[in-house]
Amino acid sequence: MSRKMKNKVLENLTIERIASEGKSVAHYNGKVVFVQQVAPGDVVDVRVRKAKSSFMEADAIKIHEYSKDRVEPFCKHFGVCGGCKWQHINYDLQLSYKRQQVIDQFERIAKTPIPEVMPIIGSQETQYYRNKMDFTFSNNRWLTREEIDSGETFERNALGFHIPKRFDKIVDIEHCYLQGNLSNDVRNALRDFALKNNISFFDMIQQNGVLRNLIIRTSSTGEIMVIVQFGEDQPEEIQKVMQFLADTFPNITSLLYIINLKKNETFHDQDIHVFQGRDYIIEGMEDLEFRIGPKSFYQTNSEQAYQLYKVAREFAELKGDEVVYDLYTGTGTIANFVAKKAKQVIGIEYVEEAIEDAKLNSKINKLDNTLFYAGDMKDILNDDFIQKHQQPDVIITDPPRAGMHEDVVNMLLKLEAPKIVYVSCNPATQARDVALLGEKYQVDKVQPVDMFPQTYHVENVVLLTLNS
Ligand SMILES: C[S@@+](CC[C@H](N)C(=O)[O-])C[C@H]1O[C@@H](n2cnc3c(N)ncnc32)[C@H](O)[C@@H]1O
């Protein structure tokens, strides 16, 4: 039965709601059908792409009725680039679906009573909110169906984003609404310069080509970092490209490049060359300054990161005499953000460079009550560690999407800190961990925050208090 459904067209399905991970849901003969790039209220014909015994995945091929909640997507690359998949849904509804996602995951997985989920904190900026963008050069531009059908020959060099699920195809981006306009100017000027000067774009199959990747980082202090990755060690061409950027954009405060001859674009293990300016930019938050190097992690929506950290700090209700553990501390941003209100903050994270940044950020901000340790959480947070340090009064934890390792959850249960503030970018794994913590903790507050407008992603902060 399942196999027979593949490629079948199902007519006049009404899209009912959006489920987890932004998938729109309809039903056909009682079976769930997940459809992409539609809105609740749409009536559509779909073609089945995947058919399993309990659900189907399908693509919309015709829209009979448009939902009243639809809005006109603002970006010409919508539907192709995969970056802002919810542009066609009005922002208020995006927010309500994000909040609902949290409610659904907790009801389904957390198996513990939760209080009413607070109204989600939306983002003031719903466009141009990112402080970091990463663009790829390719000599294999993604062509539209019309371009292919026209039989004409087109420029195949491109600078933009990977097409979802196609590592080798890049959509050439003319305007991206995720980062301020300087980012568009730099990207477009560099592409034009490279085309005019016949500088080669990277070939992902052959693994050659001079221009490989472009990263632009901005900060609320006005500082700008531009990193160009080259796929070949060609000093003359590198000089030409970098000098062009320096001359055309004198406001770049940190102009860097990397010669990356590896198979992939990751550069944590590569040397960074400073062409002009400093090798870091400064981000500000309240009265703190954070130094961000080319390899440092920093939350990509600075304003919403501030909202998120304020929620975490409020939930922690620090009075000044507490020992706080900040688990998965990254570059120690939360640890440093709460340090003035605590007796001591201990941050743990497995990326050693991030821990170095965290220490540096404490030093810059003259915070002398923080300690940072690098290591895998499940190994480092053990009885010895607790013996050497003080027992925590508050634990703030902000794990990656996979959530916390079971050993870490068990350690938290053993530690019995009076409060746990759990920050998460994945309510499903957060709810799973909360179910385990439910053995000793109750959920007191649940506060979703929107860090990524136009996407289904939602950040969620939960306050757990130890049962008396
Ligand atoms: C969601 S980020 C949190 C970042 C930080 N709290 C912030 O707001 O900037 C999760 C962090 O956990 C770290 N991490 C992932 N797995 C880890 C593990 N097993 N042990 C320690 N840290 C880990 C990642 O390197 C990353 O910095």
Q: What is the CATH number of the domain that holds 49?
A: 2.40.50.140
CB 449 within 8 A of CB 307: yes
Q: 279 and 149, same structural domain?
A: yes
Q: 430 and 313, same structural domain?
A: yes
Alpha-helix runs per DSSP H in 156-301: 181-196, 235-248
Q: What distance in Å separates the CA atoms of residue 61 and residue 418, rounded to the nearest whole number? A: 54
Within a domain: residue 454?
yes
Give the number of other Cβ atoms within 10 Å of residue 352's Cβ.
Answer: 11
Choosing from 25, 48, 65, the residue where a domain stops is 65
Choosing from 65, 80, 100, the residue where a domain stops is 65
SS3 105: helix
Which tokens sit at 353?
A: 């460079």
CB 226 within 8 A of CB 197: no
Q: What is the pLDDT of residue 21?
A: 75
Q: What distance in Å separates the CA atoms of residue 232 and residue 207, rounded to the nearest whole number? A: 9
Q: 19 and 112, same structural domain?
A: no
Residue ranges for the known binding site for S-adenosyl-L-methionine are 299, 328, 349, 398
Within a domain: residue 82?
no
Which tokens sit at 237?
A: 């061409």
Q: What distance in Å separates the CA atoms of residue 399 and residue 21, rounded to the nearest whole number? A: 18
Q: What is the pLDDT of residue 83?
A: 86
Choosing from 237, 260, 285, the residue where a domain stops is 285
Q: What is the pLDDT of residue 5?
A: 85
Interval 262-286: pLDDT, tens: 999 899 899 999 999 999 999 999 9
Q: 444 and 367, same structural domain?
A: yes
CB 61 within 8 A of CB 22: no
Interval 375-410: pLDDT, tens: 999 999 999 999 999 999 999 999 999 999 999 999
Q: What is the pLDDT of residue 88?
A: 92
DSSP 143: P
Give the number of other Cβ atoms within 10 Å of residue 257's Cβ.
Answer: 21
Number of domains in the chain: 3
Distance 397 CA to ligand 1 centre (A): 9
Distance 401 CA to ligand 1 centre (A): 9
Q: 119 and 144, same structural domain?
A: no
Q: 281 and 243, same structural domain?
A: yes
Within a domain: residue 250?
yes
Q: 110 and 201, same structural domain?
A: no
Which tokens sit at 243?
A: 């000098």
Q: What is the pLDDT of residue 3?
A: 67
Question: CA nearest 134: which of 225, 248, 223, 251?
Answer: 225
Within a domain: residue 70?
no
Listed as ranges, residues in the chain with pLDDT below 50 are: none
Q: What distance in Å separates the CA atoms of residue 240 and residue 197, rounded to the nearest whole number? A: 9
Q: 164 and 253, same structural domain?
A: yes
Ligand 1 neighbours, Cβ below 6 Å, are 297, 299, 328-331, 333-334, 349-351, 354, 376-377, 398-400, 425
Q: 313 and 417, same structural domain?
A: yes
Range of the domain at 358: 92-125+301-466
Within a domain: residue 248?
yes
Q: Which amino acid is at 416?
A: E
Q: What is the pLDDT of residue 410?
A: 97
CB 338 within 8 A of CB 362: no
Distance 328 CA to ligand 1 centre (A): 4
Q: 104 and 58, same structural domain?
A: no
Within a domain: residue 84?
no
Alpha-helix runs per DSSP H in 349-405: 352-364, 377-380, 383-388
Residues, the chain, total?
468
Q: Hey, whose CA ends up nearest to atom 4 of ligand 1? A: 330
Based on the residue annotation, tell me whether 425 is a catalytic residue of this protein. Answer: yes
- What is the SS3 string spanning 391-421? CCCEEEECCCCCCCCHHHHHHHHHHCCCEEE
Within a domain: residue 185?
yes
Q: Where is 145: in which H helix or E strand? A: helix 145-150
Within a domain: residue 420?
yes
Domain containing residue 205: CATH number: 2.40.50.1070
**DSSP string of 172-184?**
EPS--SSS-HHHH
Q: 141 and 114, same structural domain?
A: no
Q: What distance in Å separates the CA atoms of residue 273 and residue 257, rounded to the nearest whole number? A: 5
Q: Which amino acid is at 319?
A: K
